[in-house]
Amino acid sequence: MNLLHERGYKTISAEMLVRAIKEGAELPRKSIILTFDDGSESVYTTAFPVMQEYDFTGTVYIIYKYMGTPAYMNVEQISELYDWGWEVGSHGLNHVDLTQRTDRQEHEIVSSRSRLQADLDVPILTFAYPFGAYDEDCLRYAHEAGYIAAVGLGASMIQGEENLFYLYRRDVKGSYDLRIFSSFLPWP
C-alpha cells in the first residue's frame, strides 16, 4: 500500500470504472481498484486498517454462504467496510466453478445478489466469477441479475463496454515481492 501511495495511485470502485466507461465520468489520475475475494476476516482485521492509513478503499467480493462463519467476515464487519467507502459485491452463494457446475449458474449468480442485498442492506452492483471462470451463460446471468459489471482474471489493462461483464483483474499473491508487484502497475 505504501508503494501505491508513494506513486500517487488513487483507489476507485468498480462502479466508478463502469461510470467512466459508459458515461465518460472522470477518474483520478493513476486510478486502481483493489479487490478482495471471498470475504475472509483478514480483509477486515489486516487489509482494512492498513488501507485506512493511506485513505484507500477496496472492493470486497463476498461468498454468501461463508458470511459470518469462522474466519469470514460477518454482516457488521462488511457493513463497516461499506460505511468507510468500500464497495461490496457478490462472489456467489458457495464459491463453485460455474463452468463446471452449469446447473447452478443462475442460482449462484442471481440468488447471491438478492440475498446479499437483503442481509446487508447495501447495493450489490458487481459480481466476481469464482476462480475467474465463466462462459457465455454466466455473462448472461450476471447481466440479467442486474449487476452493472462482473470481474474475472486477466493480464490486460484495457477495459471497455465490450468486456463490462468480464473486467480484467490481476491476481496478486502474498508471496510476490515488490519487484513483481510493481511489474503489474501501468504507471511508474
Q: Would you call 35 exposed, middle or buried from its count of C-beta atoms within 10 A (0-12, 13-18, 19+)?
A: buried
Residue 157, pLDDT score = 78
Residue whose cell numbers read 503489474: 184
Give the CA dihedral 7, 12, 14, 17, nearest 10 degrees. Answer: -80
Average pLDDT, integer, range 73-80: 98
Residue 153: predicted pLDDT = 92
Mean pLDDT of 32-40: 97
Average pLDDT of 97-108? Answer: 94
Mean predicted lDDT score pLDDT of the chain: 96
* Closest to 96 measured CA to CA, from 81, 83, 86, 106: 106
pLDDT of residue 146: 98
128 or 185, which is more confident? 128
Residue-level pLDDT at 104: 94
Q: How far is CA 155 from CA 16, 26, 144, 188, in A?
A: 20, 24, 27, 17
Identify the structural domains of the chain with CATH numbers, from first to last: 35-170 (3.20.20.370)
C-alpha cell at 154: 486477466
The pTM for the full model equals 0.95
- Which pLDDT band, with edges at 50, 70 and 90, does 126 fall under? very high
pLDDT the model gives residue 22: 96
pLDDT at 155: 78
